[in-house]
Copies of this chain bind each other. A is one copy, B any other.
């Protein structure tokens, strides 16, 4: 049993397809009686306009594409929830792609989305991406592009970022103000601006408070796997650091776990601070102080910006950059 079409309704009601089309969309030129009659019949027969046909006509399909580098991740899944909510509000569907931190797959995702003729794309760059032609192609195809969080510096387009610098700065300042003197930073490769910004926030806070900088305390360590090697070495220094600021909650949580098992008392011997404020922070012992990135809000903001661009409601000509404020959430793992 095939879906009923406009034509079927027209035939049944002895009207023309265009009248039916207009009646369905409450076109003012249609008489109330006809409109009522048509809509009643349509409802009774569960008529659904075929979006494909409409899209072919209008060359618009009310779909936006999302590319996330890693979905099994508190921040990105939270952002996706925000994107989805905002898209739903404006009746956009979400085509979901997952690059899995893989450049090749990111390129393929772009192709997929362009082939599907999405109206716009929200993207967060993978860690391994060093070429940007695929992103440039989006723009060359006149498809709107908004980067969120992991922006691509090589491409000049709208973006929504978190104030990583200020978040890191505030966190490290908090550590200093609560009496920590030897503060380590476990960061990420500086390929990503977010990583650079956080490192700079850390370094500037030390500088401001006249604490020495020690390369041995400033290390790339952004996964639990790396943490298993690096944190033991770090804590084996003598004296060991009295605070560790980590680029994400996973590393920070592992850090509290390992340090505790080594007999460190957190936060008295060692303060630990994470970044993201995921639910991990609620289940470590003690609870983890962390910098909240407001992923949901970032997703919403990015989606709203993209939709406004698509619908011509964002009037600003050049690049729009929105900044989401971070917030230091102090819990039990810092003094």
A319 interface contact, C-beta 8 A: no
A154 interface contact, C-beta 8 A: no
- Chain A interface residue number, banded: 35 or more
A112–B96 touching, CB < 8 Å: no
Chain B residues closer than 8 Å to A176, beta-carbon distance: none
The answer to whether residues A112 and B93 also contact, given A73-B77, A117-B52, A283-B254 and a CB cut-off of 8 A, is yes
Chain B residues closer than 8 Å to A256, beta-carbon distance: 283, 285
Chain B residues closer than 8 Å to A261, beta-carbon distance: 285-286
A29 interface contact, C-beta 8 A: no
Chain B residues closer than 8 Å to A52, beta-carbon distance: 52, 55-56, 59, 61, 117
Q: How far is B56's CA from A48's CA once the two chains are assembled, in angstroms?
A: 14
B50–A117 touching, CB < 8 Å: yes
Q: How far is B283's CA from A287's CA once the two chains are assembled, in angstroms?
A: 12
A254–B282 touching, CB < 8 Å: yes
Cross-chain contact of A71 among B77, B95, B253, B279 (Cβ < 8 A): B77
Name which residue of chain B comes closest to A58, CB basis.
Answer: B52
Name which residue of chain B comes closest to A112, CB basis.
Answer: B93
9 closest Cβ contacts across the A-B interface? A253-B283, A96-B96, A257-B285, A52-B56, A72-B77, A84-B98, A94-B96, A52-B55, A260-B285
Q: List 15 A-B contacts (CB under 8 A).
A: A3-B141, A49-B115, A51-B116, A52-B55, A52-B56, A52-B117, A53-B56, A72-B78, A224-B283, A250-B282, A253-B283, A254-B283, A261-B286, A280-B280, A283-B284
